[in-house]
Amino acid sequence: TYINWAIEEGLSSLPVNPLSNKPLDWCRSFIVPITELSESKFNSLERNCVNAQDAVILRLIFEGVKGDGCAELLQLTMRDVDFERGVLTLTNQDQSIRYLEVSQQALYLIKLAARETLYQKKNGSFSGTTKNPHTRLVENEYVIRSSITRNENVHAADKFLIYRRLSMLSEVFQLPKLNVNMIERSGMMKMAKDLLEAEGKLEREQYFKIAERFNIAKRINNGIEEYNYYPLKSFLNEKAVREMYNL
């Protein structure tokens, strides 16, 4: 489509689009999809995390906690957790606040992660002979914490901590596509499955519920601000959900 537009606008010297006669299957061969995890596969991954610090990252992203630059994850403190109501107070990068109800499993992992003082390298499989198999975690108010370095860190960790830990888990569990987006999309698929089972459809109303939980950006549509859920439909649709969960 872009090449067609460029030719029409005189921005390309090509007389015709060289891709116009290519079959759709040929085009699809260049697409590398993000493979979402089913709930059972995700739970297995979570159970095999030696560090609660890692497991809580997986669980919270899966349930809709992220924010810009993973800010909602990184700025979460124990003061932000209402264990009685099961609600988190989440602060985004721009300091905007929202409230999100999470599962008992998420609350359990938050408690474990906050209590952890040592971080096992390579998910407990570190075999180095000259270095310790673990590092000591910074003691501060945040749930997700970095290891102690020369400079004691009383502030929130940065997003690269999340990326490093997911990269390590990706290597350990041989899941090359394991990243923030994959986990988030897997959580969306799980929520879509629950809504499909409970409400019998996956349409505008259900997409809005998913968009609200996962804090999808909004747009102005006919003067009304609403969630821009259309990009989700490329992977989050009834056919894909039914195929993943055998519904």
Q: In terms of pLDDT, which residue wins out, 118 or 25?
A: 118
Q: What average pLDDT does the segment 41-67 reach?
A: 98
Q: What average pLDDT does the segment 119-126 reach?
A: 92
pTM reported for the whole predicted model: 0.84
Whether the Cβ atoms of residue 88 and residue 67 lie closer than 8 Å to each other? no
Residue 183: its pLDDT value, please?
Answer: 97
Placement of tokens 């209590």 in the chain: 115
Give how far Cα 22 sits from Cα of 18, 72, 174, 221, 233, Å. 8, 44, 34, 36, 25
Domain locations along the chain: 39-173, 181-245
Give how far Cα 209 sits from Cα of 38, 66, 150, 175, 226, Å. 20, 16, 45, 29, 11
Q: Is the pLDDT of residue 126 over 90?
A: no
Q: Which residue type does 101 have?
A: E
Q: What is the DSSP letter of 135?
A: E
Give how far Cα 139 sits from Cα of 133, 134, 155, 157, 240, Å. 19, 15, 10, 12, 43
Q: What average pLDDT does the segment 70-77 reach?
A: 97
Q: What average pLDDT does the segment 41-59 reach?
A: 98
From the centroid of its chain, how far is CA 178?
A: 9
Residues β-bridged to residue 120: 134
Classify domain 39-173 by CATH number: 3.90.15
Residue 222: its pLDDT value, please?
Answer: 80
Residue 42: its pLDDT value, please?
Answer: 97
Handedness of CA 35, 197, 230, 29 (dihedral sign): positive
**Which pLDDT band holds residue 151 (cuts at 50, 70, 90)?**
low
